[in-house]
């Protein structure tokens, strides 16, 4: 039976992020995760990257007022139920995003706002200017509903080397002290920082109230994980756009990313992406 025309709008999630010409990471991963998780994806492009499976060979930041205008235009028409940031490129772009988010009600306890503090690609190319880290600390973390750093980003932001549960909690406390309402410490890189074999991938969700939750999945050794971090943050954002609690949204994100990594595929001569094709 052909379904009749839809008469109601789906929730809207907004990705504020960079493009990936290879279609694996950044905003391209976000929009795929949004669709797979049942929400409409809107986009505010912060930078155009030139990249393929072998890495990023260039990036071109978008003028800050154009980034802000994209957010304002979407919010003023279709509305935004949750937003997330990915690659932000420069301190000037971050300042423009912070200002327009205040204007349209994203973050600071209003529309859920997930900050994925993307600093570099898995090949080591910088996606954030060195002088922009401080803007992430002072302008984004205090507005964030949830911040989703990996262990390298934690070292950059708060100078804590996460090697075990105690240091994961110390990192979360340091990020709360910078104003983040909730922190998801992603344990995916723990094998590298601790030097110990990990059979599970454990993510710690820490709330500023002191509440904590652990999310566990079997550790999958897959060569194709390009866009994994973006996909986790954007599937959590989709859950928040659908009105889920933070804990339920993170559980949805963890299920999504586990399946996306399980189903990841080779593409090109380098690292292929996590999947959204099932
Ligand atoms: N390109 C863009 C635009 C991104 O936003 C990101 C990560 O957020 C990457 C590349 C790097 O992704 P990965 O580290 O999974 O290769």
Helix, strand, coil distribution of the chain in percent, nearest 5: 40, 25, 35
pLDDT digits (tens, 9 = 90+) for 28-80: 999 999 999 999 999 999 999 999 999 999 999 999 999 999 999 999 999 99
pLDDT of residue 205: 98
Residue 278 lies in a domain: no
Q: What is the pTM of this model?
A: 0.97
Q: Is residue 272 part of a domain?
A: no
pLDDT band at 1 (very low <50, low <70, confident <90, very high): low
User: In this structure, is residue 2 part of a structural domain?
Assistant: no
Q: What is the pLDDT of residues 193-211, one digit of tens each?
A: 877 888 888 999 999 999 9
Would you say residue 188 has pLDDT above 90? no
- C-alpha–C-alpha distance, residues 16 and 177, integer Å: 24
Residue 153 lies in a domain: yes
272 Cβ below 6 A of ligand 1? no
Query: Rounded distance, CA 91 to CA 64, Å?
Result: 9
The Cα 229–Cα 26 span in angstroms is 9
Say whether 14 sits in a helix, a strand or coil: strand
Cα of 1 vs centre of ligand 1, distance in Å, is: 40
Mean pLDDT of 242-253: 98
Q: Which CATH number does the domain housing residue 150 bear?
A: 3.40.1190.20
Residue found under tokens 């505010």: 44
Q: What are the tens digits of pLDDT across the range 110-127?
A: 999 999 999 998 888 899
Tell me if 5 is assigned to some domain: no
| Containing structural domain, residue 95 | 12-262
CA of 243 to the centre of ligand 1 (A): 27
With a 6 Å cutoff on the Cβ, whether 81 touches ligand 1 is no
pLDDT of residue 158: 97
Which ligand 1 atom is the nearest neighbour of the CA of 59? 3
The b/e string for 35-45 (b: 16+ C-beta within 10 A; e otherwise) is ebbebbbbbbb
In angstroms, what is the span from residue 31 Cα to ligand 1's centroid?
14
Mean pLDDT of the chain: 95
Best probe residue, ligand 1, of 121, 257, 273 (max atoms within 8 Å of C-beta): 121
How do residues 75-96 score in pLDDT, each as one tens digit?
Answer: 999 999 999 999 999 999 999 9
Per-residue pLDDT, averaged over 236-257, amounts to: 98
Quick check: CB of 227 below 6 Å from ligand 1? Answer: yes
Structurally, the chain folds into a number of domains equal to 1
- Tell me, yes or no, whether 267 lies in a domain: no
273 lines ligand 1 (CB under 6 A): no
């Amino acid at each position: 039976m052909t379904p009749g025309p839809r008469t109601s709008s789906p929730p809207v999630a907004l990705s504020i992020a960079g493009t990936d010409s290879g279609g694996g990471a950044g905003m391209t991963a976000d929009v795929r995760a949004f669709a797979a998780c049942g929400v409409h994806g809107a986009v505010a492009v912060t930078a155009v990257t030139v990249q393929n499976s072998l890495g990023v060979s260039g990036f071109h930041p978008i003028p800050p007022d154009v980034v802000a205008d994209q957010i304002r235009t979407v919010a003023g028409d279709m509305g935004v139920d949750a937003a997330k940031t990915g690659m932000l490129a420069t301190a000037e772009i971050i300042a423009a995003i912070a200002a327009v988010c205040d204007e349209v009600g994203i973050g600071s306890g209003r529309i859920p706002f997930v900050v994925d503090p993307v600093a570099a690609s898995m090949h080591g190319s910088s996606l954030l200017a060195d002088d922009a880290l401080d803007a992430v600390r002072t302008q984004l973390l205090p507005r964030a509903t949830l911040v989703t750093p990996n262990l390298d980003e934690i070292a950059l932001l708060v100078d804590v080397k996460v090697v075990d549960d105690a240091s994961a909690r110390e990192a979360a406390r340091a990020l709360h002290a910078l104003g983040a309402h909730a922190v998801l410490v992603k344990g995916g890189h723990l094998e590298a920082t601790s030097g110990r074999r990990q059979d599970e991938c454990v993510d710690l969700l820490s709330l500023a109230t002191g509440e904590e939750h652990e999310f566990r999945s079997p550790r999958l050794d897959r060569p194709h994980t390009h866009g994994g971090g973006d996909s986790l943050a954007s599937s959590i954002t989709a859950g928040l756009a659908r009105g889920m609690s933070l804990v339920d949204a993170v559980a949805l994100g963890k299920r999504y990313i586990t399946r996306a990594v399980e189903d990841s595929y080779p593409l090109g001569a380098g690292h292929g992406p996590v999947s959204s094709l099932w």
